[in-house]
Amino acid sequence: MAPLLHDVLHTAQLISLPNVYIRLRQILDNPEYTVAEVATIIEKDPAITLRLLRIVNSSLYSFAAPVDTVSRAVTLLGSQQIRDLVLATPIALTFKGISSNLIDMQRFWRRSIYCAAACQHLAGRVGEYGRERLFVAGLLHDIGHLLMYQTIPGLAQQALEQALAGNQPVHLVERSLLGFDYAIAGGELMRLWELPESLVELVRCHLEPEQARSYPVETALVYLGALLARAEYENGTLGGETLAATPQVWTTTGLTLEECLAMRETITRDFEAITHFFS
């Protein structure tokens, strides 16, 4: 591990996950947990309860009948999937106080939410692959940058400026300057938080999905979701010179460039429908 990354993660120990997620994880670690216990933990946080029910009733799921209780949501989706969504809803609150001079947080989260919606649609297209987990991985794929801006803001900003000046990918500049990139930082933060190894690998390896060992398809989907989000927010074109997916990604996922481009309208629709859930 790069020495600077070690220092960053040491500082990150002061950053904790929301209490509701920690309590929920403790419940689910007991193999004899009940749906009622899961629902009770979530319902103690009215804001998360509201956001969760709004997500479950959104166009992302399109259940035949409205889902009006947390217990019903848990029954329909399963406790593990609910845990992933509970993690997703308040995570923005984990990083407070980052200067607007360093990063536009509203733009950051809008791009992250777009990536999340893209990942969930891509997962459905190739055969599910844990759509909730892909949603969360897409939402958090860039979380390493927030960690860096909170712990080493000067160096993180220097890397971004060098990347822009040299028209280089920021993660390559980060590796040269810092000894690690934002994806590695995000993955290690998730490991520090004791999140599932699937989320760790999806975030850590999404820049180079061929490095994924346990979840290669899911990691490739996050890679594509991130490219779609960049195309949306950097005014680029998926498949263009700077946003071209590697041939191995198309082989791994079984998707085509044309399929991904055709999904953009649907992704944008769902993105607009769910953005306010995270405000």
Instruction: Indicate where the chain has its CATH 1.10.3210.10 domain(s).
Output: 98-278
Q: Does position 152 have pLDDT exceeding 90, yes or no? A: yes
* pLDDT tens per residue, range 250-278: 999 999 999 999 999 899 888 887 776 66
Question: CATH homologous superfamily of domain 98-278?
Answer: Hypothetical protein af1432 (1.10.3210.10)
Q: Does position 44 have pLDDT exceeding 80, yes or no? A: yes
Alpha carbon distance 35, 78 (integer Å): 9
pLDDT at 104: 87
Q: Does position 86 have pLDDT exceeding 70, yes or no? A: yes
pLDDT at 69: 93
* pLDDT tens per residue, range 96-111: 678 787 888 888 988 9
pLDDT at 154: 94
Pick 220 or 16 by higher pLDDT. 220
In 3D, which of 37, 81, 45, 75 has the Cα closest to residue 60? 81
pLDDT at 252: 95
* pLDDT tens per residue, range 222-259: 999 999 999 998 877 888 777 889 999 999 999 999 99
Q: Does position 42 have pLDDT exceeding 60, yes or no? A: yes
Pick 86 or 32 by higher pLDDT. 32
pLDDT band with cut points at 50, 70 and 90 for residue 169 = very high
Alpha carbon distance 76, 56 (integer Å): 10
Alpha carbon distance 63, 60 (integer Å): 9
pLDDT at 187: 96
Q: Does position 165 have pLDDT exceeding 90, yes or no? A: yes
**Longest C-alpha distance within the chain, in Å?**
56
Q: Does position 279 have pLDDT exceeding 60, yes or no? A: no
pLDDT at 180: 97
At position 36, the amino acid (one-letter code) is A
Contacts by 259-267 with C-beta closer than 8 Å and gap 24+? 259/125, 260/122, 260/224, 260/228, 263/118, 263/121, 263/122, 263/125, 263/228, 264/228, 264/231, 264/232, 266/121, 267/114, 267/117, 267/118, 267/121, 267/228
pLDDT at 118: 94
Mean pLDDT of the chain: 88
Q: Does position 2 have pLDDT exceeding 70, yes or no? A: yes
Pick 179 or 54 by higher pLDDT. 179
